[in-house]
Structure 1
Amino acid sequence: MRKMINLVRNENMKLAHHLSTWIMMGILVLLVVAAGLLTRFTGTQAPKSDWKADITVQNQELKKSLAEPGMSKKDKDSITNNLQTNEYRLKNDIQPVQGNSLWGFVEGNSMLITLIALFAIVMGGGIVANEFSGGTIKLLLIRPSKRWKILLSKYISVIGYTLLMLLLLLIVSFLLGGILFSFKGSATPFLTNSSGVVTEVNMIAHMMSIYGLQCINLLMMVTLAFMISSVFRNSSMAIGIGVFLLTIAPGITRLISMKYTWAKYILFANTDLTQYANGQPLVEGMTMRFSIIVLIAYFVIFNVISYIGFTKRDIVA
């Protein structure tokens, strides 16, 4: 156990000594600050005080839409849920989250998790391959530690770095959101609607769930890039394929799912678990349990291939 801790510490020290590590974290913080300043000082309207009138008008529109013939059951359920949630808001005086508020700012910055995924792919795609290209892999393998432990320590280090960036995004967004938009209203609950039952959820728990569900995509993309790096020992290939899949694959999967039900077995049809929170799975019949099983299967396959690629191949002198 102590050897593993030392190996992970060694990998963390390597990451800490790379200038790119700090540049990535700096870019993330700067983007959060820029987003906050733009939202606060570029003419964005203040939260509307007469939000109840707006919701009343919205409810009238929803009722009209609900009365239209030929509507699918999926759309009808979605409209009904929105209507029930709005009526609950009016009855219990719970204002919706505004974009230029503390929680609205924190939730809006969850889009930057895609950027974190990009940075994680860069780190995961290079942490193994760069050892081979730089020739330092020989120094690493002459240690008494087994190869799989060395590989695992690198994987743990990359995952830790990714989670650190995610935590940094959450903390900076919360503090800056409170400074720019006030911490007033931070106790406002988030409303969920499950089968017609509206429930109040603590907003902190809601934000943690949003960021937590996004971690699934981060974990799978890092694991994929790590696998390619371990097998092909080429950081450019690992990063290139990882970035391509991150940006293009979800859209292609969505197009395939419109025509073929087997699309539900594709990795990128299951990485976004928020589809179940919204009640709109990509393919009809998909469930949270199904997606978790598929993700576990891909996770095991990726790591087994990484293990074989790193431990079974000879190191060329």
Structure 2
Amino acid sequence: MYKNHLEQQLKINEYRLEHNIKPVALNTFWGYLVNSADIISLITLFTIIVAAGSVASEFSWGTIKLLLIRPASRTKILLSKYIAALLFALCMLLLLFVFSAVIGAIIFGIEEIREPYLAYQNGTVVEKSMLLHVMQVYALNCVDLVMMTTFAFMISAVFRNHSLAIGLATFALFVGPQITTLLAMKFDWAKYLLFANTNLAQYIDGTPLVEGMTMAFSIMMLLVYFVIFNTLTLLIFRKRDIAA
């Protein structure tokens, strides 16, 4: 797999030489914008804190009883809190993108804004819009954001513990990928773990963590985990005795 990746990069570099297209350097507008996607992990951490406290804090403050006596059902209340956490993340992402674009334009200029993005598809090198590539990078980096927000929200609703939700979700965010990588070196079943599938960029500019993995497989596994997390959250919250 790594050999195939190097061969693809070789053909892309040959295409650059033939058509006089510069590589995307970090000290350029597009390079800075792509590199800023790494900050999404910080947004994920902030969103975890918001999601972890959205339900657990209602129990710790005792306001959950006041909330549930209203005409809205438990499902609507839970869904509204989950959507609010995702909207918070979306606002942070938009702020990051706009702020990075403005700073990149001021510092590095926009002389190379028309430069294309080179991708290797079906045995040939094709030119694509760099803006679409940047948006794709942001979208792929948001997979961790959505999954860890959902996980933190589940822990918050199930255990009613703010600190536990933040601790487990943060630990999983920073340690989970490393443990999964170590397991994938020896065991093929590691491909069924959550963090083996959250990095969808491995199918765009890299190699799969486990041989045989595909984009469709990872998306299917993510959907399975997403459904499990939300189903547990909904079922336990709806049946929980608030007086307990």
Q: Which interval holds the TM-score relative to the shorter structure? A: over 0.9
* C-alpha distance in structure 2 between counterparts of 1:75 and 1:254, whole Å: 15
Q: Which has the larger radius of gyration?
A: 1
* Alignment equivalent of 1:150, drawn from 77, 81, 87: 77
Deviation at 1:278, TM superposition (A): 2.0
Cα deviation for residue 145 of structure 1 reads 0.6
AA partner of residue 254 (structure 1): T
Match of 1:249 in 2: 176
Q: Give the equivalent residue in structure 2 for 1:11.
A: none
Q: Quick one: distance in 2 between partners of 1:114 and 1:195?
A: 32
Give the Cα separation in 1 of the matches to 2:121 and 2:206: 9
Q: Does residue 261 in structure 1 map to residue 192 in structure 2?
A: no
Write the distance in 2 (CA, Å) between the matches of 1:131 and 1:201.
48
Unaligned runs of 5+ residues in structure 2 are none
Alignment partner, residue 5 of structure 2? 78
Q: Secondary structure at the match of 1:127?
A: helix
The residue identity in structure 2 corresponding to 1:183 is I
- 1:235 pairs with 2:162: yes
C-alpha deviation, 1:137, in angstroms: 1.0
Residue 111 of structure 1, CA deviation: 1.0
CA distance in 1, matches of 2:187, 2:100: 40
Determine if the alignment matches structure 1 residue 123 to structure 2 residue 50.
yes
Secondary structure at the residue paired with 2:125?
A: strand
Select the residue among 74, 78, 98 that pairs with 2:25: 98
- Cα RMSD, aligned residues only: 1.0
Q: Describe the superposition over 1:121-143 as per-residue Cα deviations: whole angstroms up to 9, x where unpaired.
A: 11111110001111111111111
Work out whether residues 84 and 196 of structure 1, in 8 Å CA contact, stay in contact via their aligned partners in 2. no
Paired AA for residue 77 in structure 2 = I
Structure 1 match to 2:96: 169
2:2/2:207 contact within 8 Å kept: no
SS at match of 1:193: strand
Picking from 177, 200, 203, the partner of 2:127 is 200
Count of aligned pairs between the two proteins: 244
State the partner residue of 1:38.
Answer: none
1:306 maps to 2:233:
yes
How far apart are the structure 2 equivalents of 1:297 and 1:148? 20
Deviation at 1:283, TM superposition (A): 0.4
Structure 1 unmatched ranges of 5 or more: 1-73
Question: Counterparts of 1:261 and 1:215 in 2: how far apart (Å)?
Answer: 26
Q: CA deviation at 1:282?
A: 0.4
The CA deviation at 1:279 is 4.1
Superposed CA offset, 1:184-229 (max 9, x none): 1111111001243101110100000000011111100000000000
CA distance 1:144–1:101, shift in 2 (3 Å): same
Q: How many Å separate the matches in 2 of 1:80 and 1:150?
A: 52
**Cα distance in structure 2, aligned partners of 1:76 and 1:161:** 41
Q: Structure 1 CA distance, aligned partners of 2:6 and 2:200?
A: 21
Q: Provide the C-alpha distance between the structure 2 equivalents of 1:133 and 1:266, rounded to a whole number of angstroms.
A: 32
| Displacement of 1:92 | 1.2
User: 2:151 is matched by which residue type in structure 1?
Assistant: L
Amino acid at match of 2:205: N
| Alignment TM-score, normalising by the size of structure 1 | 0.75
2:62 maps to 1:135: yes
How many percent of aligned residue pairs carry the same amino acid?
Answer: 52
Contact 2:118 / 2:128 at 8 angstroms: preserved in 1? yes
TM-score by length of 2: 0.98
Q: What SS does the corresponding residue of 2:88 show, helix, strand or coil?
A: helix
The one-letter amino acid paired with 1:230 is A
Shift of 1:77: 1.7
Q: Secondary structure at the match of 2:126?
A: strand
Shift of 1:76: 2.7
The code of the aligned residue for 1:301 comes to I
Cα pair 1:264 1:270 within 8 Å, conserved: yes
Whether contact under 8 Å (1:264, 1:286) holds in the other structure is yes
Q: Distance in 2 between matches of 1:307 and 1:75?
A: 42
2:217 matched to 1:290? Answer: yes
SS in 1 for 2:119: strand
Is the 2:115–2:130 Cα contact (8 Å) retained in structure 1?
A: yes
